[in-house]
């Protein structure tokens, strides 16, 4: 008789209790804390996914469901309402299993205080100045100051403080910036409040779109002044034109001049994501904002885009929402997101995937920046002393170790279709890489990855039992780092099969005192020997970041060694052909890529390479065929 799969949790709602309407749901723990908030077009269909048998759930979804003690839901009138309610609840409850945003920094903006009697331009990080118009964000404060310095040469508006302005207007004496030509407001005694307001409007119009009409007007005025032989005025217009060109050159035209868009580049792995938001106004990149995200529950690219868009515009002013939102993938509820943004902006908004042309090229740039930001984010976390200490402590607790693993060795096996098998060993001490102690291993004969891993570990562990060499006090030779130094923790790239193979190696070598674990890439599960289920570390855990970096470093080192070895093997085979020099060998490698591909090539195909005649091609073909 077949066994019936049991429900995952005791609080699973009864069949028919969950409505099929759109709505928002919340999982709570025993103390009532909200653990996770989600939305659904069909609540019953979505929630049934969480209450499947435990063994069928994603490991991290299982952890959330079993951590919860209840689930509740709210039915709404439309999918757009569910999106709005989801955003409000995530913001209110900050659930630990929803994605967590870590803004890299507080970015500087250029702000024009339009609510003032005489508006001024300032550099600020405060986005809540009443009535202010913002431009940016800028990557550095000096970049804002440089832009302002150029802009006030063309549009001389107020830069002095409110206190200086009030004093100047009360005394009739220009403010200090006005005395040195740095302030063009009414406090400089050169313009009226009305005239100054008109200049401010031009300043804002230019910054909003890089309006070319200002260049045309200045050009016309310069020519008129020159024709009238008013060369002093012509020089002033010339300087203003140069300042405008300098501002425009600082933000090169990347799309058509009428483009008003935000473009999002996203790079992600199993634990984190990095987002680069390019703010494009008038076809020019006016600002760049970077955000990193910690992911707890498994979430794919389209769902991540959904969360990113909500986060970017949830509290945004209508003026900060563009006509176009360009993303790498369309979320399932793209139409509802468009309606939500349209309501907030008061105008049409479209969400599109940048697939071709200049938009696609710009998206590649944004994605590249996001990838670099993600690498930097992970590196900073693992290199920070406090984070490293926390990671080692968390690792000790999670794996049940008697002490923090100050020396960790990680192993990865790499091959090409079962051939050219190599393995890597990377070493971290105190949470930092010790590249001088990295090692590579070649595996000549093996049956599979687990057998390769077993062989490599047996060879490495043998060094632990070798006596230390007697040092010659008179020798000046540099001392080689001690390969015989034992690790406190041995990590393998892989899941249960790889861990079992490593455990056999430790037992056969007589070193079962060394702790062991494996990290499986797809789900980032941590496996221990002899355990039926993996250890699931929180995605925000410093310990998991350390293990992930160890695994990634071991994989990188193995792949690098394999490529270097393959190049060396190819070159050594080809170097045996008479008349084949280094330059031609490189040309052959670029064209065919491997000895295997060369072996399959005919002499006629080899002669297609410049500098390789029929006689040499026949010699290459014969040499490879005989080998």
**CA–CA separation, 241 vs 221, rounded Å?**
11
- Per-residue burial over 8-17, b if 16 or more Cβ lie within 10 Å, else e, is bbeebeeeee
Band of residue 31 on the pLDDT scale cut at 50, 70, 90: confident
Whether 375 and 491 share a structural domain = no
Last residue of a domain, one of 563, 598, 618: 563
Q: Is the pLDDT of residue 4 over 70?
A: no
Band of residue 5 on the pLDDT scale cut at 50, 70, 90: very low
Crossing angle between the packed helical segments 357-383 and 385-399, to the nearest 10 degrees? 80
Total structural domains in the chain? 4
Residue 79 located in a structural domain: yes
497 near 471, Cβ under 8 Å? no
Q: What is the pLDDT of residue 297?
A: 72
> Per mean pLDDT, which range of 55-59, 463-467, 532-536 is the poorest?
55-59
Q: What is the pLDDT of residue 283?
A: 76
Give me the long-range contacts of 88-94 (CB less than 8 A, separation at least 24).
89/24, 89/26, 89/34, 89/37, 90/37, 91/314, 93/26, 93/34, 93/37
Whether 296 and 358 share a structural domain = yes
Residue 478 located in a structural domain: no
CATH of the domain at 276: 3.30.420
Whether 294 and 359 share a structural domain = yes
Helix (H, G, I), strand (E, B) or coil at 545: helix
Band of residue 211 on the pLDDT scale cut at 50, 70, 90: low
**CA–CA separation, 259 vs 253, rounded Å?**
10
Torsion of CA 501, 507, 512, 516, to 10 degrees: 0
Q: What angle do CA 165, 169, 174 make, to 5 degrees?
A: 75
Q: Are strands 489-493 and 515-520 parallel, antiparallel or unpaired?
A: parallel
Band of residue 3 on the pLDDT scale cut at 50, 70, 90: very low
Residue 452 located in a structural domain: yes
Q: What is the pLDDT of residue 573?
A: 61
Cα torsion angle, 545, 546, 549, 550, sign:
negative
pLDDT, one tens digit per residue, over 473-519 is: 555 554 555 566 788 999 998 888 999 999 999 999 899 899 999 98
Last residue of a domain, one of 365, 380, 395: 380
Residue 83 located in a structural domain: yes
The partner residues of 515 in beta bridges, in order of sequence, read: 489
Whether 609 and 548 share a structural domain = no
**CA–CA separation, 579 vs 571, rounded Å?**
14
Report CA-CA distances (Å) from 37 to 22, 71, 89, 93, 242.
14, 10, 7, 9, 53
Q: What is the pLDDT of residue 514?
A: 92
Q: Is the pLDDT of residue 433 over 60?
A: yes
197 near 184, Cβ under 8 Å? no
Q: Is the pLDDT of residue 523 over 80?
A: no
Q: What is the pLDDT of residue 247?
A: 62
pLDDT, one tens digit per residue, over 169-210 is: 888 888 888 887 778 888 877 888 888 888 888 888 777 765
Whether 363 and 282 share a structural domain = yes
Q: What is the pLDDT of residue 326?
A: 92
Q: Is the pLDDT of residue 167 over 50?
A: yes
Report CA-CA distances (Å) from 564 to 70, 420, 559, 580.
55, 11, 9, 21
Whether 461 and 556 share a structural domain = yes
Helix (H, G, I), strand (E, B) or coil at 543: helix
> Per mean pLDDT, which range of 9-23, 555-569, 603-617 is the poorest?
555-569
The partner residues of 525 in beta bridges, in order of sequence, read: 520
DSSP category for residue 535: B
Residue 281 located in a structural domain: yes
Helix (H) or strand (E) holding 365: helix 357-383
Per this entry, what is the length of the chain? 627
CATH of the domain at 36: 3.40.1440.10
Terminal Cα distance for the chain, rounded: 60
> Between these two residues, 520 and 264, which has the higher pLDDT value?
264
Percent of the chain topping pLDDT 70: 84
**CA–CA separation, 21 vs 248, rounded Å?**
51
> Between these two residues, 288 and 11, which has the higher pLDDT value?
11
Whether 441 and 389 share a structural domain = yes
Helix (H, G, I), strand (E, B) or coil at 197: helix
**CA–CA separation, 350 vs 322, rounded Å?**
9
**CA–CA separation, 533 vs 527, rounded Å?**
7
DSSP category for residue 540: T
Tokens of 602: 């005919």
The HSE-up count of residue 586 (CA atoms within 13 Å, CB side) is 3
The HSE-up count of residue 106 (CA atoms within 13 Å, CB side) is 5
Q: Is 94 left (phi over 0), alpha (psi -120 to 50) or beta?
A: left
**CA–CA separation, 225 vs 235, rounded Å?**
9
Q: Is 478 exposed, middle or buried (0-12, 13-18, 19+ CB in 10 A)?
A: exposed
pLDDT, one tens digit per residue, over 250-267 is: 555 567 777 888 899 998
pLDDT, one tens digit per residue, over 46-57 is: 888 888 877 677
DSSP category for residue 594: S
Whether 391 and 522 share a structural domain = yes
Whether 502 and 586 share a structural domain = no
Helix (H, G, I), strand (E, B) or coil at 480: coil
Q: Is the pLDDT of residue 277 over 70?
A: yes
Helix (H) or strand (E) holding 274: strand 272-281
Q: Is 556 left (phi over 0), alpha (psi -120 to 50) or beta?
A: alpha
Whether 444 and 368 share a structural domain = no
Nearest C-alpha neighbor of 47 from the set 78, 77, 15, 69: 15
CATH of the domain at 518: 3.30.420.340
Band of residue 520 on the pLDDT scale cut at 50, 70, 90: confident
Q: Is the pLDDT of residue 143 over 50?
A: yes
Percent of the chain topping pLDDT 90: 10
* Phi, psi dihedral angles at 312 (to 5 degrees): -70, -35
Residue 302 located in a structural domain: yes
Tokens of 513: 């005192």
Residue 327 located in a structural domain: yes
607 near 614, Cβ under 8 Å? yes
pLDDT, one tens digit per residue, over 93-126 is: 888 888 877 655 567 888 899 888 888 888 888 8
**CA–CA separation, 95 vs 92, rounded Å?**
9
Residue 139 located in a structural domain: no
Residue 540 lies in domain: 385-465+483-563
The partner residues of 101 in beta bridges, in order of sequence, read: 293
Mean pLDDT over each residue of the chain, to the nearest integer: 80
Whether 368 and 438 share a structural domain = no
Nearest C-alpha neighbor of 385 from the set 436, 435, 430, 433: 430
Last residue of a domain, one of 380, 415, 430: 380
CATH of the domain at 581: 1.10.150.20
580 near 620, Cβ under 8 Å? yes
**CA–CA separation, 449 vs 497, rounded Å?**
9
Whether 308 and 267 share a structural domain = yes
């Amino acid at each position: 008789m077949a066994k019936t799969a049991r429900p995952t949790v005791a609080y699973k709602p009864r069949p028919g209790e969950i409505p099929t309407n759109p709505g928002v749901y919340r999982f709570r723990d025993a103390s009532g804390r909200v653990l996770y908030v989600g939305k659904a077009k069909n609540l019953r269909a979505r929630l049934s996914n969480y209450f499947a048998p435990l063994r069928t759930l994603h490991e991290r979804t299982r952890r959330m469901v079993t951590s919860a003690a209840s689930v509740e839901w709210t039915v709404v009138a439309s999918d757009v309402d569910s999106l709005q309610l989801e955003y409000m609840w995530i913001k209110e409850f900050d659930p630990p299993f929803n994605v967590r945003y870590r803004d890299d920094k507080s970015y500087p903006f250029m702000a024009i205080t339009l609510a003032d009697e005489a508006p001024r331009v300032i550099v600020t990080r405060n986005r809540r100045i009443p009535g202010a118009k913002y431009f940016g964000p800028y990557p550095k404060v000096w970049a804002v100051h440089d832009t302002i310095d150029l802009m006030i040469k063309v549009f001389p508006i107020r830069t002095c403080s409110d206190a200086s302005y009030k004093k100047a207007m009360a005394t009739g004496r220009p403010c200090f910036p006005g005395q040195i030509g740095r302030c063009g407001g009414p406090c400089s005694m050169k313009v009226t409040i009305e005239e100054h307001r008109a200049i401010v409007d031009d300043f804002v119009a230019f910054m909003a779109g890089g309006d070319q009409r200002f260049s045309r007007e200045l050009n016309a005025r310069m020519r008129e002044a020159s024709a009238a032989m008013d060369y002093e005025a012509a020089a002033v217009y010339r300087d203003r034109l140069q300042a405008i060109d300098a501002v425009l050159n600082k933000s090169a035209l990347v799309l058509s001049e009428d483009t008003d868009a935000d473009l999002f580049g996203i790079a992600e792995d199993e634990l984190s994501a990095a987002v680069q938001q390019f703010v494009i106004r008038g076809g020019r990149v006016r600002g760049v904002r970077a955000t990193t995200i910690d992911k707890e529950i498994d979430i794919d690219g389209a769902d991540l885009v959904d969360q990113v868009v909500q986060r970017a515009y949830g509290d945004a002013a209508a003026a900060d929402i563009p006509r176009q939102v360009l993303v790498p993938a369309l979320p399932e509820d793209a139409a509802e997101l468009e309606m939500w943004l349209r309501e907030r902006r008061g105008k049409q908004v479209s969400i599109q995937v940048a697939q071709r042309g200049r938009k696609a090229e710009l998206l590649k740039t944004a994605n590249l920046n996001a990838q670099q930001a993600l690498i930097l984010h992970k590196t900073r976390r693992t290199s920070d002393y406090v984070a490293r200490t926390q990671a080692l402590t968390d690792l000790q607790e999670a794996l049940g170790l008697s002490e923090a693993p100050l020396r960790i060795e990680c192993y990865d096996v790499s091959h090409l279709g079962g051939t050219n098998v190599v393995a890597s060993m990377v070493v971290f001490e105190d949470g930092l890489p010790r590249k001088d102690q990295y090692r590579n291993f070649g595996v000549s004969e093996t049956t599979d990855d687990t057998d390769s891993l077993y062989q490599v570990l047996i060879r490495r562990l043998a060094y632990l039992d070798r006596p230390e060499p007697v040092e010659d006090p008179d020798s000046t030779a540099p001392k080689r780092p001690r390969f015989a130094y034992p690790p406190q923790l041995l990590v393998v790239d892989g899941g249960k099969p790889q861990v079992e193979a490593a455990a056999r190696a430790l037992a056969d070598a007589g070193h079962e005192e060394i702790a062991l674990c494996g990290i499986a890439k797809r789900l980032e599960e941590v496996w221990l020997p002899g355990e039926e289920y993996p250890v699931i570390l929180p995605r925000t855990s410093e310990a998991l970041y350390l293990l992930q970096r160890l695994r990634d470093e071991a994989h990188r080192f193995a792949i690098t060694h394999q490529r270097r070895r393959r190049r060396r093997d190819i070159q050594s085979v080809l170097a045996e052909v008479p008349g084949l020099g280094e330059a031609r060998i490189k040309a052959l490698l670029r064209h065919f890529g491997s000895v295997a591909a060369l072996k399959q090539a005919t002499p006629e195909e080899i002669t297609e390479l410049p500098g390789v005649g029929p006689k040499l091609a026949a010699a290459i073909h014969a040499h490879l065929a005989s080998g």
